[in-house]
């Protein structure tokens, strides 16, 4: 079965638990709006792809799907909260109204909260090997929380002194490194060997995002552009210039591919990562062709 | 060792993981502000008391402490988010500035998020019996999230049609029922037998809170009074009148005590619960004596 369909199925199962006739209906709608139709599902695809590259059997792949879904739910939660008026005040996300624009600020705060809880509930109910639940939950929590995870990354925006690498590693790379390591754990491989790939890919995604934010097109991205400059946020383009950011991205792509450990599906995974990273810059390419 | 000291120790250990020199310092401060000095720690005390009443040995009691700490972290997270300008806009909490007043709205949103993540990280790292991690995590997540937990309870405030019992069961009783059941699971007892106690105590706390909100004193409560009326929130006092709310509370106290299952520490637990419920109404008693 196609990887994207497998991931969608696990996310649907998670949301159906939250969406019950005797629960508050607007919250369930807001949670669904935050998760579907969704973006490229990069993190769960990465998690499952790493597990399969490590030779995961059906049972191990199912664990990687669950871990990937939990990671995606945390990613969706962070988008909902990052879009809030007190942060980016973004009117749109993935081409649709942001959650707080569609449902109001209270339900946007609560939808993010519900998604964080749902991520951990998904792990607890879906990881059918008890010995793997503690390491996977601890890994996901570390990548999501404070002091080095997603929430900490967002919190660096509230500090006057920020090191760009520290900020981006927490805000973006943390969930990518979590995805590769979770895939390895699910398949019984050594997660430490897979961390570098996640770190590199996460940084590459952040740099590509900065390039798209700087030269891309809001309609194509489905969210506002020029936000880094407008909000005074650290950005690879602001720091290195546009050409410098492109050079940095090329180096990160090479480092990502070079970091893939020896495993049964290494060449397939390499091809997939190269294709994915080309796709990433499509908004910037389209904008440069239109200019 | 005193129960309150044991709980404080587990909470301190959890916070020390979030508070690292290379993390964002303001977030760590905001998280600490949300958890310490703290309130009466009713939920974790209840969790540990139930485990001890069930005859928990040292290892089982340690698991109940960890589960209780996770429940308290979720409670603290909900207070931070409930106090936000888009909900109660409360200037104070526990006699100190609310988190968003002390650190700003962005850090208040993030502190709540970090606390939710930390709750589940605390379970994953602290529950040393792998077979208990999945049921305890699922129990805590169900009590915290959607459709029947704490987040869902808050979300009922965004709905036009609300049944008071449904709202209060989700917003308050859910974490109490979680605390009693988690204590039972930690001690190897049947959690289903302990749910009624949590439900009754949770409802009793909510009714006492409504009474205090209606007649209490802001300085003594450490938070604003008269909020239910001002914000048009469902309340037992608004529904039953003040005398009716007191009668209802008396019935809930009796039902709580009657629901305690047969166990080694039943009489000690009964005494503890009676004492605790008397303590609850102190603000209202003080206000009536001052009047």
Stretch B120-130: mean pLDDT = 97
Probe site for chain A from B15, B126, B151, B154 (most A CB atoms < 10 A): B151
Domain ranges of chain A: 3-290
- List the structure tokens of B43: 């939920």
List the single residue in A19, A104, A112 with the smallest CB-CB distance to B113.
Answer: A112
Residue A29 forms contact with B (CB below 8 Å): no
Exposure letters A221-246 (e unless 16+ CB within 10 A, then b) = bebbbebbeeeebbbbbbebeeeebb
Candidates A18, A124, A158; nearest CB to B138: A124
**What confidence tens digit (pLDDT) does each residue in B169-198 have?**
899 899 999 999 999 999 999 999 999 999
B89 touches chain A (CB under 8 A): no
**pLDDT value of position A96:** 95
Within 8 A of B112 by CB-CB distance, chain A residues are: 113
The chain B residue lying nearest A115, using CA atoms, is: B145
Contact B6, B68 (CB under 8 A): no
pLDDT value at B127 more than 90: yes
Q: Please tell me the predicted confidence (pLDDT) of residue A287.
A: 66
* B8: CB partners within 8 A, 6+ apart: B38, B41
| Residue B102 contacts A, CB cutoff 8 Å | no
**Beta strands A96-97; A92-93: pairing state:** antiparallel
Contact A17, A45 (CB under 8 A): no
Asked if the Cβ–Cβ distance from A23 to B159 is below 8 Å, we say no
The secondary structure element, H or E, covering residue B92 is: strand B92-93
Query: What is the spatial distance between Cα A247 and Cα A88, in angstroms, rounded to a whole number?
Result: 28
Q: Phi/psi zone of residue A94: left (φ > 0), alpha (ψ -120 to 50 degrees), beta?
A: left
Please judge whether A141 and B121 are an interchain contact, meaning their C-beta atoms are less than 8 angstroms apart. yes
Name chain A contacts of B81, Cβ cutoff 8 Å.
109-110, 113
State how far the Cα of B194 lies from the Cα of B273, in Å rounded to an integer. Answer: 14
B16: nearest CA partner in chain A: A147
Report chain B residues whose CB lies below 8 A from the CB of A80.
none
Confidence of residue B72 (pLDDT cuts 50, 70, 90): very high
Contact between A182 and A47 (Cβ < 8 Å): yes
> How far does CA B184 lie from the centroid of its chain?
17
Indicate the residue of A24, A120, A158 with minimum beta-carbon distance to B159: A24
Note the pLDDT tens digit of each residue in A162-200: 888 898 889 989 999 999 999 999 999 999 999 999 999
The minimal CB distance from A31 to the residues B146, B156, B166 is found for B146
C-alpha angle A159-A164-A170 in degrees, rounded to nearest 5: 80
* Distance from the B275 Cα atom to the nearest Cα atom in chain A, whole angstroms: 33
Q: What is the pLDDT of residue B291?
A: 59
Interface of A with B in 3-22 (CB under 8 A): 18-20, 22
Q: How far apart are CA A27 and CA A30, in angstroms?
A: 5
Tokens of B289: 């004596």
Task: Establish if A34 touches chain B: CB-CB under 8 angstroms.
Answer: no
* pLDDT above 80 (res B218): no
Cβ–Cβ below 8 Å for A131 and B130 = yes
- Optimal mutation site among A77, A113, A115, A165, interface B, most CBs of chain B within 10 A: A113
Inter-chain CB proximity B146 and A28 less than 8 Å: yes
Residue B143 or B285, more confident = B143
Q: How far is A179 from chain B (nearest CA, A)?
A: 17
* Mean pLDDT for chain B overall: 92
- Give the closest-approach CA distance of B39 to chain A in angstroms: 22
Residue in chain A lying closest to B135 (CA): A124
Give pLDDT tens digits for B20-61.
Answer: 999 999 999 999 999 999 988 999 999 999 999 999 999 999
Per-residue confidence (pLDDT) for residue B284, from 0 to 100? 66
CA distance A252 to A244: 12
Residues B235-290: tens digit of each pLDDT: 888 888 889 999 999 999 899 999 999 999 999 999 999 888 888 777 666 666 66
Q: CA B233, CA B82: separation in Å to the nearest integer?
A: 13
> Which residues, at least 6 apart from B12, have a Cβ–Cβ distance to it below 8 Å?
none
Tell me if A137 and B117 make a contact (CB, 8 A cut-off). Answer: no
CB of A269 within 8 Å of a chain B CB? The answer is no
Low-confidence ranges of chain A (pLDDT < 70): 1, 216-221, 225, 283-291
- Set of chain A residues whose Cβ sits within 8 Å of the Cβ of B143: none
Q: Are A191 and A139 in contact (CB under 8 A)?
A: yes
CA distances for B181 relative to A187, A246, B64, B143, B202, angstroms: 34, 55, 10, 11, 13
List beta partners, residue A97. A92
ipTM of this predicted structure: 0.94
**Å between B73 CA and nearest CA of chain A:** 13
Q: How far is CA B204 from CA A98, B165, B196, B200, B273, in A?
A: 39, 12, 12, 6, 11
What CATH class is the domain A3-290?
mainly alpha
């Amino acid at each position: 079965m196609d990887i994207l369909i497998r991931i969608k199925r696990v996310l649907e199962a998670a949301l159906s638990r939250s969406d019950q006739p005797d629960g508050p209906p607007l919250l369930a709608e807001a949670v669904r709006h935050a998760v579907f139709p969704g973006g490229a599902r990069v993190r769960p695809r990465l998690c499952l792809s790493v597990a399969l590259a490590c030779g995961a059997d059906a049972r191990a792949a199912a664990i990687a799907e669950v871990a990937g879904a939990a990671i995606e739910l945390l990613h969706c939660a962070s988008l909902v909260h990052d879009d809030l008026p007190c942060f980016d005040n973004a009117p749109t996300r993935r081409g649709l109204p942001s959650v707080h624009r569609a449902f109001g600020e209270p339900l946007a705060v609560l939808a993010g909260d519900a998604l964080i809880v749902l991520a951990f509930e998904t792990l607890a109910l879906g990881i059918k090997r008890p010995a793997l639940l503690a390491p996977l939950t601890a890994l996901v929590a570390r990548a999501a929380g404070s002091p080095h995870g997603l929430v900490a990354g967002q919190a660096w925006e509230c500090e006057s002194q920020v090191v760009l690498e520290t900020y981006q590693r927490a805000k973006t790379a943390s969930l990518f490194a979590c995805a590769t390591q979770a895939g390895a754990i699910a398949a019984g491989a050594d997660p430490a060997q897979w961390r570098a790939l996640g770190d590199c890919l996460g940084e590459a995604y952040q740099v590509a995002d900065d390039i798209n934010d700087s030269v891309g097109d809001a309609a194509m991205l489905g969210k506002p552009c020029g936000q880094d400059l407008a909000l005074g946020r650290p950005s690879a383009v602001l720091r290195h210039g546009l050409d410098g950011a492109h050079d940095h991205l090329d180096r990160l792509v090479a480092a990502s591919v070079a970091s893939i450990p020896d495993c049964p599906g290494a060449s397939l995974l390499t091809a997939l990562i190269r294709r994915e990273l080309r796709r990433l810059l499509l908004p910037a390419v389209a904008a440069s062709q239109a200019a």
